[in-house]
Structure 1
Amino acid sequence: MISVYCVSLGCAKNRIDTEMILASFPDTARLVDSPERADLILINTCAFIADAKKESIQTILELSRYKGKVAVVGCLAERYYDEIKQEMPEIDCLIPIKDYGELQDYLSGLTGEKGFRKLDPLKRVLTTGEHSAYLRISDGCDNFCSFCAIPYIRGRFKSRPYAEIIEEARILRDKGVKEISLISQDTTVYGRDFPSRRPDIVDLLKELDGMGFYSIRLLYLYPSEISDGLIDLIASSKSIAHYFDIPVQCASDHLLHLMNRHGDAAQMRELFAKIRRKCPDAVLRTTLIAGFPGENEEDQKQTIEFLKSIRFDHMGCFTYSREEGTAGYSLPDQIPEKLKRARRDELMKLQSRICYEINKSHVGQKLEGMVVGKRGKGVYQIRTYLNAPDDIDGSFTFSSPVDHKEGDIVKVRVTGALVYDLMGEEVLA
């Protein structure tokens, strides 16, 4: 019997890979909650930006101090295989993404254990609780944004077979999963690489919408690819969350061109206005990059005015990370780190005020959602359509005299608001 300690870094797509790897282990394997007790330490790494690479390397160095064999997989292993192989002897087994088809052979050779299986996308060990799961619908990306290394790490865009997605959704539903979040690098173009370009994301959503899930959420929508049909379907559905995760990166046409982004700021303004018209209760989330090469004060001003105008419910902002192999790496007028951070902080300060104002507007509202955890005696955490998983949009806690368990559906009155978090009390019949 082999004991396994696992760390999964980076995005939800990486998490799904981790869940598939865990499901490929021998039936006798057991997960442990401490690296001290592990025969095998599995680290799924991220290499999207500099901070992610740093975290991955620090995690490897920290966990290599223990007696367990160290296996490293994921984007860092894929992107820097030769360098890591040469410079990090602490790693016992390095497995790039392109070799996942032979992962069972790697791990069997490393541990001496038999019974490792090939990765199966329909078999996962959920790490998100028994009632919530991510559902991957494609991999790779064809956008080639000049700041992003994903196409070079994960390859070109490839839609997952429609029937396989539906089958996995059925498996998840039958296991008791009530909430699914659809993920990919670009969710909006699902099906574009099929011979007839169908089924597309709207077809897929319609099928999932009829399967009995409590909540279906879309993440990673590319602004120029969002169709009226997609907006209309989301707006009319009771189970598809009225939640639009649309990274815009910036609101300067000058920078959007340098970033190799499709569309312009005016088109994005019209998109968000259309979403508000068609779906008045829509939650809008976006992501920005501060300090892209060539960015000037006028670019920053345009993005600030955009934020004031659109008033996103949630926003993440990252400083530009200069990534080898991308078009942005060789651009002139690279921005000093201090100025990048200052511009990021300016954007986040504005957004925090907007978030607080929006959160205060929710006070007094009654919202339905799913219990996702207990936070103390009589205090629980709920997830409504306002918030995506993993607390990326803050948390929502509520008090109740009822003894709840995860997965319960409850109605809560919002009684208090912080910058990013909400508090409430259960509405009892």
Structure 2
Amino acid sequence: MSEFEDTAFGAGQNHIFLGAAHEDNERRTWMVIALCSAMMVAEIVGGGLFGSLALVADGLHMSTHAGAMLIAALAYTYARRHAGDPRFVFGTGKLGDLAGFTSAIVLAMIALLIAYEALSRFLSPVPIHFGQAIPIAVLGLLVNLASVWLLSGNHHGHSHGHGHGHEHGHEEEVHRIVGSAGVFALSVFEDGVPPVFRITPDMTSSKLNADTVSVTTIRPDGAHQTFAFADCGGYLESKDDIPEPHAFRAVVRLPDGEHQIEFEEHGHDHDDAQTAANRDHNIRSAHIHVIADAAVSVLAIIGLLLARAFGWVWMDPLAGVIGALVIANWSRGLMRDTGGILLDMNLDRRMAENVRHVIEDNGDTVLDLHVWRVGPGHMSAIVSVATREAQRNPGFYRAALKRFKGLSHLTIEVNPARAAA
């Protein structure tokens, strides 16, 4: 007979899986809407008063810009207000991804419209009023740059922003210890978890008693720290995490005596899986909208200046085609990323493998494992385990997996090993 347990680590039982910067991003998005709306009204009213069709046209264009931002803002507001609504089985954390997918479709449509208009002007050139067009393009660029600044922050969803702060992906540094008891590998293990020491015997070495093993680190400033170990089945693991940086001399005490090893700090690289798991695609879609608009403004200004200086009227529609291709490419990437989340694609295979290793390194078998994202910085997992240890209930595995910071929701089923046969 199996045991079952469903637990939300990071959010309690309310299943609230909103991003760490949810309210901050919501506020920034509403600020951009206010800026765009003010600009839209000023251009339409000013165009009507001064008889400028170009101003009115740009004001209407600004209204579409504000409408795209409204999708993101309403998604933030709705997700926050309904975060505890029990009708949403896994919370409202993925609503931002749905809004991002919708924005990606809007961006694709905008790219098609720009491309259509540009190609039409290639075939049927129209006279350009440079005196009005260039200042309006510059004004639009300034508004977009202000919008980019408002949306910028630690959580705007680019590759260098991570919601909960970044994880470090180190190459595991392994040192071999050869002694009378056998050959052992000492490593700093931090593959998606807080860094710890691991001591693993080779196939011919005898098993170590955790009580007879310790590691003392001696840092350049003379600071000492001693680490005790716990038996994890096929290896020993330190009970305490290793503080950064990982540059120190380690004194390893084994039954046959002491061994000294030098550890060097390695460069830190952002992990793509962690980025994908933490990225807020709603603010990312808003960011892409304003950056795309800014890029189109820059291309338009360049095209208009060249057309006026050299009479190259074709430069204006060419700039439009280039802008359409850039927007289409960004739209494709946003659609791909958000679509994968909406279809519960596993974005962090490393976490899935780590969950599997933690369980199977204890001598158990993972029968079924699913890991998917339920919100920015929040992953969920369903694990079915077969074990021969009668005392291992779901709480045992929950405690073992609690080290994974991004694993906010966990469902565990424990079966006797004979059930797997």
Which structure: greater helix fraction? 2
Q: Which structure has the bigger radius of gyration? A: 2
If asked which structure has higher relative contact order (CA below 8 Å, sep 6+), I would say 2
Q: Do they superpose with TM above 0.5? A: no
